[in-house]
Amino acid sequence: MRLPEAGMTMIDYHVHPSYSADASGSIEEFCEAAVQKGLREICFTTHLDADPVREEDFVMVRGEKVSIYSPDWLEDYELSIRNAGDAFADQNLKVKLGVEVDLYPGVIDQLPETFHSTDFDLVVGSVHLVNHKAISLMEEAIDIFREYELSELGNRYYRVIIDSIESGLFDIVGHLDIYRRYGEEYYGEDILKLWEPHLEELVHSMKTHRVGFEVNTSSWRRGLKEPMPASSLIQALLKGGIDTVTVGSDAHRPEEVGSGIGRAISILMECGFQSTSLYDCRVPRPIRLY
């Protein structure tokens, strides 16, 4: 495996501070960890879950549950991140404002009004739910797998992604094949090809709406052999003309920041990518990998 070049700009564009209910660690603690690991850019992407069926439409602000529809939390979140950007500038760390929107049918109508007026650097769109059940949580994922044959799972999952891309809501698709997290053991190797019938439509939508994707390294921390998406899908996306890509650890604790980033960059290089992208005000800027 080729190793990243010395001096390469190392970034982590998927990080969850304690605003996410399932995360711990302050913005400052994550930034300190990023500096210690030699990162040059970090993008905070707190969860924005709006599915009313699950009643998880809240964030944590200084340890207290706050509705995502509160007019104040996004202002607090943005101010905290911009202040961290100022505080860590002299340590050569750029701090970006992002969010991870949980995608499901009808999500646009459930987003808070302040979402549209917030000056994000990056909006990640990710599917965590299939029919209101979390495919990212083991017990709920098994329930989903018992309910759907593999092809039907693929139809439902990729329909949500493609329809959401066409909404123009977000900039990159997060952990594109997250169904592998628990699906590899349940379905076997066939799940590695789940994307194939949907690739042409997926690529067309991504190109039309200028949506990229991320290489998410959290699967390695869970014992999987490949990142998300797997190398075969990374190569297929590039062959289809999708060359906007970021890398992210999906860190939920400061010690996870930067985990697997160098390895992910090596895989991108092996797959034929020449650049990854930095984001400012939701506009990508490619930087060469070698």
Q: How many CB atoms lie within 10 A of CB 61?
A: 16
List the beta strands (DSSP E) in the chain.
11-15, 41-48, 58-61, 64-67, 94-102, 122-126, 129-130, 133-134, 172-173, 212-216, 245-248, 275-280, 283-288
Residue 123 covered by a domain: yes
Does the residue 20 lie in any domain? yes
Measured CA to CA in angstroms, residue 11 lies from 110, 193, 259, 264 at distances of: 31, 29, 11, 11
Q: Is residue 3 part of a domain?
A: no
User: Is residue 97 situated within a structural domain?
Assistant: yes
> Would you say residue 5 has pLDDT above 70?
no
Residue 130's nearest CA partner among 114, 146, 119 is 146
Cis peptide bond upstream of 229, omega within 30: yes
- pLDDT, average across residues 70-81: 94
Q: What is the pLDDT of residue 2?
A: 44
Task: Tell whether 5 is covered by a domain.
Answer: no
With a cut of 90, say whether residue 78 has pLDDT above it: yes
Crossing angle for the helix pair 199-208 and 231-239, nearest 10 degrees? 60
| Residues 12, 4: Cα–Cα separation, whole Å | 15
Q: Where are the alpha helices (DSSP H) in 71-198?
A: 73-87, 107-110, 138-147, 150-165, 180-187
Q: Is the pLDDT of residue 246 over 80?
A: yes
Q: Which residue has the tokens 């104040």?
A: 72
pLDDT average, residue stretch 138-144? 97
| DSSP-assigned states of every residue in 1-24 | -PPPPTT---EEEEE--TTSTT--
Mean pLDDT of the chain: 94
Which SS3 state, helix, strand or coil, does residue 278 take?
Answer: strand
- Which pLDDT does position 203 carry in this prediction? 98
Both tokens of 160, joined, read 């949500």
Looking at the structure of the chain, the number of domains it has is 1
- Report the pLDDT averaged over residues 11-31: 97
Q: Is 47 helix (H, G, I), strand (E, B) or coil?
A: strand
Does 278 have pLDDT greater than 60?
Answer: yes
Question: What residue numbers bound the domain in which 81 lies?
Answer: 11-288
Is residue 4 in a domain?
A: no
For 49, the token pair is: 């879950």
pLDDT at 106 over 60: yes
Contact 105, 160 (CB under 8 A): yes
> For residue 151, what is the domain's CATH number?
3.20.20.140
* pLDDT of the residue at 8: 54
Per residue in 154-210, pLDDT tens?
Answer: 999 999 999 999 899 999 999 999 999 999 999 999 999 999 999 999 999 999 999
Judge whether residue 84 has pLDDT over 80: yes
User: What's the rounded mean pLDDT across residues 46-75?
Assistant: 93
Confidence of residue 55 (pLDDT cuts 50, 70, 90): confident
**CB count, 10 Å around CB of 190?**
11
